[in-house]
Amino acid sequence: MKKAVCLLSGGMDSSTLAYVAKDMGYDIIALHFTYGQRTEVKERKCAKEIARLLGAVEFVEIGLEHFKKIGASSLTDENIPVEEYVGEEEGIPNTYVPFRNANLLAIATSLAEARHAEAIFIGVQTGDYPGYPDCRPEFIEAFQRAIDLGTAAKPRIRLMTPFVQMSKVDIIEKGLRLGVPYEHTWSCYQANDRACGICSSCHYRREAFRELGLEDPIEYEE
């Protein structure tokens, strides 16, 4: 059976992505990162449950404490408040963690090569491009080139981004067809109990469910 490393945060996108990879015939190696993010506890719990329900062959958790030391993001620095969603804005949001995806993908590549996995799945999608430079297709293409040049993997390790042209609505529709248990996923940037309902991640998640005429199965503060 072919194997894939799936970056699994426990969020809506990454959980759906893991189900997509499973549906494509891959055995799943679930890779979860903790890096001092505000919702670390809840994310870990959700990621482990999704991996269990999915039947992942391995759950690998890796700590990246250096992000807490680096700071410069409201996700890792308690002194920087998480921005409330106030409409579409240009520029980089303060939830951006500097060059995070490069760090995550480097470790995912090491794991994939060590486990002889053929693919790495990461859930970058259309809505991420404007504010998160390490979610752009050009970045993914460049990192694929780095993998090709920097590994001895046979067969070649492929970066898989099936959501790259999909919206949140598209992703949820796909996940519902595959039976993704969204009640065990977490998107909020700042709460570990009830989702805050006011950060941008909560906003986009709720709007996607509303657009589909569905109730989001997680609880919100407001």
27 assigned binding-site residue? no
pLDDT of residue 205: 96
Amino acid (one-letter) located at 141: E
Q: Look up the domain containing 52 and give its range.
A: 3-211
15 assigned binding-site residue? yes
pLDDT of residue 90: 84
pLDDT of residue 129: 57
Q: Cα(45)–Cα(14) distance, rounded to whole angstroms?
A: 14
Q: Cα(207)–Cα(131) distance, rounded to whole angstroms?
A: 19
Residue 217 domain-assigned (yes or no): no
DSSP-assigned states of every residue in 71-100: --STTT-TTSPPPBP-S---S--TTPPTTH
Residue 42 domain-assigned (yes or no): yes
188 assigned binding-site residue? yes
What total of structural domains would you count in the chain? Answer: 1
Q: Hey, what are 111's tokens?
A: 């794991």
Residue 218 domain-assigned (yes or no): no
| CATH code of the domain covering residue 138 | 3.40.50.620
46, 61 Cβ separation under 8 angstroms: no
Average pLDDT of the residues in 105-110: 98
pLDDT of residue 222: 72
Average pLDDT of the residues in 46-69: 98
Indicate if the pLDDT at residue 126 is higher than 90: no
Residue 221 domain-assigned (yes or no): no
Indicate if the pLDDT at residue 71 is higher than 90: yes
Residue 46 domain-assigned (yes or no): yes
Residue 84 domain-assigned (yes or no): yes
201 assigned binding-site residue? no
6 assigned binding-site residue? no
63 assigned binding-site residue? no
202 assigned binding-site residue? yes
Q: Cα(148)–Cα(120) distance, rounded to whole angstroms?
A: 13
Residue 10 domain-assigned (yes or no): yes
Indicate if the pLDDT at residue 168 is higher than 80: yes
46 assigned binding-site residue? no
167 assigned binding-site residue? no
Residues 127-160 pLDDT 10s? 775 789 999 999 999 999 999 999 999 999 999 9
214 assigned binding-site residue? no
Q: Rounded mean pLDDT of the chain?
A: 96
Residues 2-50 pLDDT 10s? 999 999 999 999 999 999 999 999 999 999 999 999 999 999 999 999 9
Question: What is the CA angle 195-197-203, rounded to 5?
Answer: 120
User: CA quadruple 2, 55, 34, 13: dihedral positive or negative?
Assistant: positive
**Region of poorest pLDDT, from 57-61, 64-68, 130-134:** 130-134
Residue 21 domain-assigned (yes or no): yes
12 assigned binding-site residue? yes
